[in-house]
Amino acid sequence: MTEEIWKEELRRYFDTVRIIERAKAETLESFDQFCEFIAEPAYENLAEELKDYGIRIRFRKDRGLFIKFRLSFPGSRIDNFFYTIVLPGNSYELRLGLVLKGRRRPGGVLEEKKEEFMKGLSPAEIIKIDKERLIQDILQHYRDFNFAALTSPE
């Protein structure tokens, strides 16, 4: 009887490990889909529109780790603002982090802030947002940072 108990516990343990590993693989796949179908098209639309304002935007994706948008100061090649969506390591669901960095002036020190990406959205809702919503979120954080930089004492 005792032997059956530990064998059953061992079987449940390995079943649980398989479920977790499968969930992690599905989360990575969901993140890649988010990048391909939401973030990359958002970047393309935003890059085209920001040209009119003399702002360059660059996009970098590291599979399974992060997506980064880098906006320059107007008329400059110096980075002003970074918006990075992060997939935490060992994620078994699409709960993303957001790392915001910015400098108040060219040559200034980068300030960093971390928060939850689109707080309040479930993992299932994140994969369903459209590129317009992502663009609005990027621009809201960009505006908030730059308005604070323009109005705060140095």
Q: Are 62 and 29 in contact (CB under 8 A)?
A: no
Mean pLDDT, residues 40-57: 96
Alpha-carbon distance of 145 to 151, in angstroms, equals 10
Q: pTM for the complete prediction?
A: 0.90
Backbone φ and ψ of 133, nearest 5°? -65, -40
* Number of domains observed in the structure of the chain: 1
Q: pLDDT of 103-117, one tens digit each?
A: 999 988 999 999 999
Which pLDDT band holds residue 36 (cuts at 50, 70, 90)? very high
Alpha-carbon distance of 74 to 53, in angstroms, equals 7
Q: Are 67 and 131 in contact (CB under 8 A)?
A: no
Which pLDDT band holds residue 66 (cuts at 50, 70, 90)? very high
87 pLDDT above the threshold of 90: yes
Domain residue limits at 99:
2-151
3-state class percentages of the chain: helix first, strand second, coil last, to nearest 5: 50, 20, 30
Q: Please tell me the predicted confidence (pLDDT) of residue 64.
A: 80
Alpha-carbon distance of 101 to 70, in angstroms, equals 9
